[in-house]
Amino acid sequence: MGTPLNLASIACMRLSDRFWGLPPDASLHGPAFDRHLLLNLWIALGLLALAHLLLLAGLARRRRKGAFHSQALLEFLPLAALAVLFGGLAVRAEALWRDARYTGPDPAAMQVEVVGMQFAWYVRYPGPDATFGRTRPELVAPGEGNPLGLDPTDRHSSDDVISGQLVLPAGREVDLRLRALDVIHGFSVPALRLKQNAVPGQTIHVHFTPTTPGDYAILCTQLCGAGHYRMAATLRVLPPADFAMWLSRHQSTGGEQ
Amino acid sequence: MNPRLTTENSKLRTEPAPRFTHHRTLGLAYLALSTIALLAGTALSLLMRLHLAWPAWSLPLHGLILPEEYLGLVTLHGTLMLFFVLTIAPQWGFGNLLVPAQIGASSMAFPRWNRAALILFATALSTLLASPFVPGGSAISGWTAYPPLSAITIAGPGQAGGMDLWLAAIAFFALASLVAAVNMLATIITMRCPGMAWHRLPLTVWGWFTAALLSIPAFSVLLAALLMLFSDRHLHTSFFLPATEVVNGLVLHSPGDGSPLLWLHLFWFFGHPEVYIAVLPGIGLTSMVLANFARRRVFAYRIMIAVTLLIGLLGILVWGHHMFVAGLSPFAGSTFAISTMAIALPASAEVLSWLATVWGSKPRLTTPMLFALGFVSLFVAGGLTGPILAQPILDQYLHNTMFVVAHFHLIMAMAGVFGLYLATYYWFPLLAGRMLNDGLGRVHFYATLLGAYATFLPMHLAGLAGEPRHYAQLTGVAGPAGTLLKNLLPLQRHITYAAIFLAAAQLPFVWNLVRTLSGPRTASANPWAATTMEWAPAPVTPPEAAASSHFAVPCVYVGPCEYSPDGNSFHPQWEPLTKVLPKE
């Protein structure tokens, strides 16, 4: 009973996806997000068509009619309907926003740090001690293999893994902490339906669960200087076993430089 | 004859009026400033479009457009269009030309201050236009100038001298806006002619009034923010800078521990009302022109007044929707989402009133009427994506993508420009004594509407596909990000072709202007059979006013939209109530 309906709704989603040209989605919250976005888009398109239809129909009437008088009917009734419609959308959106942002990640989530600087993203994993080593601005030297200014005198530093690529295991929640060294950058992964600015002086956390292995675009979405357009990186989602292999390989070399 | 009256009159005649203070002269001068900005801003946008579609294209006499030059184009284009075109032209250009006439006043309240504002605006424009020519070129941080990029001179080319000139230009602009807004408010509040009660003001005046009301808090806060940014740049404060930064390999320490988010708050507290300042006059004029050609009262007139004020009020409560992913508390996101969604209601009320006013009215489709209908169309098309972007969770995907660029170009830029064309075609007979050619006007309208949609509708799709804004080029990036960007090149090329068509569609208008202005003054006194005061014949002194006043004072007797039900006769605001129109 439910199956044909489900199949139909999935088929509709696919068609709808293709019509609006959304990129493939690779995150746990993605399908619910896409449903809500596509619903919004279709409603907007429908209202656009309706308003133009009413405008053109009103213009096309051959005989002049008397002016309308009933404000209740023509202003307040449609406004009430629109209030319900937009209110409903706002409530749905609020539920998704709450799930994404109101609470922190699962304590067992994987810790990753992403740092933006003109014009590159660096990724840091805390290593087996599960603690990020101390960093000092004076030590920042991308050319010398220490882009984040990791302080070698801190005992948590030695096992930190620094990478130019964000590699994550599929199916595990990620607690991503976001920083910027110089100006504001925008950390955006279209395939994760995720975006968050990295602000100098602030550490901001976002959490999500990647689901589908593959390579995806990371883009900067906050104007950050002349190289803004090329401040891109790659998110590589791997099956958990492959990820474990990747991480152990890099732990032994201390990072992929 | 009363001897006192004659001496006063002759004294008035001999005392020379201060030079260059007449509101019509100043209004035209404001429009001239905007025209310079519009031409420059359009040229810059075409360069951006060409570069985006063909990044290897070399600009004659210049060479390749470098990424920082592209961002300079973006910054100048946004600043010119938003400040110098969409704010000056509708609010101070047409405002000066029409407000005194529409409220039955002989001048603005403070003519000399009005001239001072014009000089400040002109200084601001020349300062801005000089900025690309200093070493390093123009600022590259966009019209929103987010620090630390805008606060640290070594953060990019153009962030030294170019950025200082940008700051100076916008500071002049903010000062000028405050002066002009006080003048506008004082004029509307104190100089309405006898009989011009608040509810009899045309909706255009309500638009100007609300925009001037918004200008006072908005530009005051902007001015403060600009001074703080200047101080961060040159006086070693750190309102917007954290304690430590590493820029270009240099470690910078600030005395305090400020936050760039403070700038975002201050800037958008100004920035959001600013976009309403840009469209409110157009909204008011659209209502009045639709009613004029539909030969009916604006549907729900008093609600429209309330709605205009409500849009203004909500406009200063929603700035946080520009900051959903900026690093605020998620609860702030929810709060600003609610206040922003609320704007959908007064905006929808405007659209419903327009639809009801036009419905079955068999209007004359003159060029001004077409542009008013075009304004409605663009306002709806751009407005409907507003509630989408107002949802923080959707903004987490759409923020700073081309989807946003599409949204504000339709609702603010295109609707704003349609408002300006509407004002030009509608008031041209009043200001120039000539009618613009209707045939050329139609060609101009249909081509511009088509060009606007062909340019800005596809940008939604680019944004949905994930393309960020402010990207100097879509090529030269490796990996999946490069693939994502490169796949959008065909769409961007289409948009470039459409933008060139849109620019070319303005040629019939230019030709129309030249042709009409070189022809004879043939327009009749009230060619649109309009009801509002600017079309009144030279004011006649009514007997009861003549006894108490030295001047011929116009009087208002009715509201601004009095038509007979069949639309064939109307009652202008200046005509005494001798005949009574049959009630509808």
Q: What is the pLDDT of residue A3?
A: 66
Which residue, A102, A127, A162, sits at the end of a domain?
Answer: A102
Q: Count the alpha carbons within 13 Å of B129 in the hemisphere toward its beta carbon.
A: 16
**Which of A44, A51, A223 minimises the CB distance to B351?**
A51
Residues B246, A233: C-beta atoms closer than 8 Å:
no
SS3 (DSSP) at B331? helix
Q: Which domain holds residue A197?
A: 110-253
A180 phi, psi to nearest 5 deg: -135, 140
Q: Are residues A127 and A232 in the same domain?
A: yes
**Residue A80 and residue A124 in one domain:** no
Asked whether the beta carbons of residue A201 and residue B296 sit closer than 8 angstroms, the reply is: no
Tokens of residue B137, six digits: 């070129």
- Record the tokens describing residue B506, joined without a space: 């303005």
* B363 contacts A55? CB cut-off 8 A: no
Residue of B nearest to A48 (CA): B381
Q: What pLDDT digit, counting tens, does each position of B126-157 carry? A: 999 999 999 999 999 999 999 999 999 999 99
Determine the Cα–Cα distance for residues B42 and B521; give it in Å rounded to an integer: 31
Contact criterion met (CB below 8 Å) for B172 and B226: no
Contact A182 B245 (CB under 8 A): yes
Chain A residues with CB under 8 Å of B477 CB are 229-230, 232
Q: Specify if A61 maps to a domain.
A: no
The pLDDT tens digits of the residues spanning B395-409 come to 999 999 999 999 999
Average pLDDT, chain B: 92
CATH code: domain of residue A120: 2.60.40.420
C-beta neighbour count of B59 within 10 angstroms: 12
∠ CA(B275), CA(B279), CA(B285), 5° rounding? 165
Enumerate the residues of chain A whose CB falls inside 8 A of the CB of residue B326.
Answer: 184, 197, 199
Answer whether A117's CB lies under 8 Å from A181's CB.
Answer: yes
B155, B249, B387 ranked by CB distance to A225: nearest = B155
Cβ atoms within 10 Å of B56's Cβ, excluding its own = 9
Q: Are residues A188 and A83 in the same domain?
A: no
CB contact under 8 A, B584 and A67: yes
Q: What percent of chain B has pLDDT over 70?
A: 93
pLDDT tens figures, B210-222: 999 999 999 999 9
Residue A6: pLDDT over 70: no
Task: Place A1 in a pLDDT band, splitting at 50, 70 and 90.
Answer: very low
Whether residue A62 lies inside any domain: the answer is no
For residue A43, CA distances in Å to A48, A168, B403 come to 8, 36, 16
Question: What pLDDT sits at residue A14?
Answer: 72
pLDDT at B537: 86
- A135 DSSP β-pair partners: A150
B140:A226 CB<8 A: yes
Let me know whether A8 and A83 are in one domain. yes
Q: Is A23 helix (H, G, I), strand (E, B) or coil?
A: coil
Closest to B251 (Cβ–Cβ): which among A58, A138, A235? A138
A193 to B478: CB separation less than 8 angstroms, yes or no: no
Write down all domains in chain B, each with its CATH number in brackets: 18-243+253-546 (1.20.210.10)
Is residue A209 included in any domain, yes or no? Answer: yes
pLDDT value, residue A140: 93
Alpha helices (runs of H) in chain A, residue ranges in sequence order: 2-20, 30-60, 71, 77-97, 240-253
Residue of A nearest to B372 (CA): A55
Tell me, what's the pLDDT at B4?
40
If one counts every other C-beta atom within 10 angstroms of the C-beta of residue A2, the result is 7
The beta-carbon neighbor of B352 closest among A21, A78, A225 is A78
Shared domain for A83 and A148, answered yes or no, is: no
Whether A87 and A134 map to the same domain: the answer is no
Interface residue of B239, B396, B461 to substitute, partner A, most A CBs within 10 Å = B396
Q: Number of residue pairs across A and B with CB atoms under 8 Å?
A: 301
At CA B176, angle to CA B171 and CA B179, rounded to 5?
A: 130
Whether pLDDT at B546 is above 70:
no
- Pick B330's closest partner by Cβ from A101, A197, A235: A101
B418/B381 Cα distance (integer angstroms) = 13
B443-460 pLDDT, tens digit per residue, is 999 999 999 999 999 999
Name which of B156, B246, B303 is nearest A226 (Cβ-Cβ).
B156
Residue B253 has pLDDT above 70, yes or no: yes
A108 pLDDT more than 80: yes
A128 and A248 inside one domain: yes
What value does the mean pLDDT take over residues A55-79?
Answer: 85
Q: How far is B113 from chain A (nearest CA, A)?
A: 38
- Cβ-Cβ contacts under 8 Å, B156 against chain A: 118, 225-226
Residue numbers in A near B267 (CB within 8 A): none
- pLDDT at residue number B543: 56
B346: pLDDT strictly greater than 50: yes
Chain B residues near residue A61 by CB distance under 8 angstroms: 359-360, 362
Confidence of residue B96 (pLDDT cuts 50, 70, 90): very high
Interface test with A, best of B393, B486, B494 (most A CBs within 10 A): B393
Percent of chain A with pLDDT over 70: 94
Gap between the terminal Cα atoms of chain B: 46
**Same domain as A208, residue A114:** yes
Higher pLDDT: B11 or B427? It is B427
Using CA coordinates, name the residue in chain B closest to A82: B345
With CB atoms and an 8 Å threshold, state whether B361 touches A67: yes
**What's the structural domain count of chain A?**
2
Which residue has 């001179």 as its token pair?
A: B153
Are A128 and A88 found together in one domain? no
pLDDT exceeds 90 at position B481: yes
Query: What pLDDT shows up at residue B396?
Result: 96
Which among A38, A64, A148 is the top mutation candidate for probing chain B, defined by the most B β-carbons within 10 Å of its own β-carbon?
Answer: A64
Query: Which residues of chain A neighbour B395 with C-beta distances below 8 Å?
Result: 195
Q: Which residue(s) pair with A204 in the sheet?
A: A178
Asked whether residue A224 falls in the same domain as residue A161, the answer is yes
Burial of B520 (0-12, 13-18, 19+ CB in 10 A): exposed
Name the closest residue on chain B to residue A218, using Cα atoms: B481
Smallest Cα distance from A254 to chain B, Å = 23
How confident is the model at residue B6, as a pLDDT?
40
- In a domain, residue A63? The reply is no
Say what the pLDDT of residue B407 is: 98
Indicate the pLDDT class of residue B552, thresholds 50, 70 and 90: low
- For residue A176, tell me if it sits in a domain: yes
pLDDT score recorded for residue A61: 86
Interchain CB distance below 8 Å, B299 and A22: no
Residues A46 and A139 in one domain: no
Chain A residues touching residue B140 (CB < 8 angstroms)? 223, 225-226
Q: Using one digit for the tens of pLDDT, what is the confidence trace for B499-529?
A: 999 999 999 999 999 999 999 999 999 999 9
Domain shared by A181 and A117, yes or no: yes
pLDDT, tens digit (0-9, with 9 covering 90-100), for A131-188? 999 999 999 998 888 999 999 999 999 999 999 999 999 999 999 999 999 999 999 9
Average pLDDT for A28-38: 95
3-state DSSP of B267-300: HHHHHHHHHHHHHHHHHHHHHHHHHHHHCCCCCC
In chain B, the residue whose alpha carbon lies closest to the alpha carbon of A46 is B384
In whole numbers, what is the pLDDT of chain A averaged over residues?
91
**Helix, coil or strand: residue B237:** coil
Chain A: closest CA distance from residue B23 (Å): 37
CA distance A146 to chain B (A): 12
Residue A223 lies in a domain: yes
Give the gap in angstroms from C-alpha B13 to the nearest C-alpha of chain A.
49
> Which residues of chain B have a CB within 8 Å of the CB of A215?
479-480
Q: Yes or no: say if B545 and B553 are a contact pair by the CB < 8 Å rule.
A: yes
Q: Please, what sign has the CA dihedral across residues B203, B209, B213, B216? A: positive
> How near does any CA of chain A get to the CA of B236, in Å?
17
Residue A178 lies in a domain: yes
Q: Is the peptide bond before B202 cis (omega within 30 degrees of 0)?
A: no
- The 3-state secondary structure of A180-232 reads ECCCCEEEEEHHHCEEEEECCCCCEEEEECECCCEEEEEEECCCCCCCHHHCC
DSSP assignment string, B333-353: HHHHHHHHHHHHHHHHHHHHH
Preceding amide of B408 cis, omega within 30: no
Quick check: is A64 in a domain? Answer: no
Q: Give the per-residue pLDDT at B544.
A: 56
Write the single-letter amino acid at B44. L
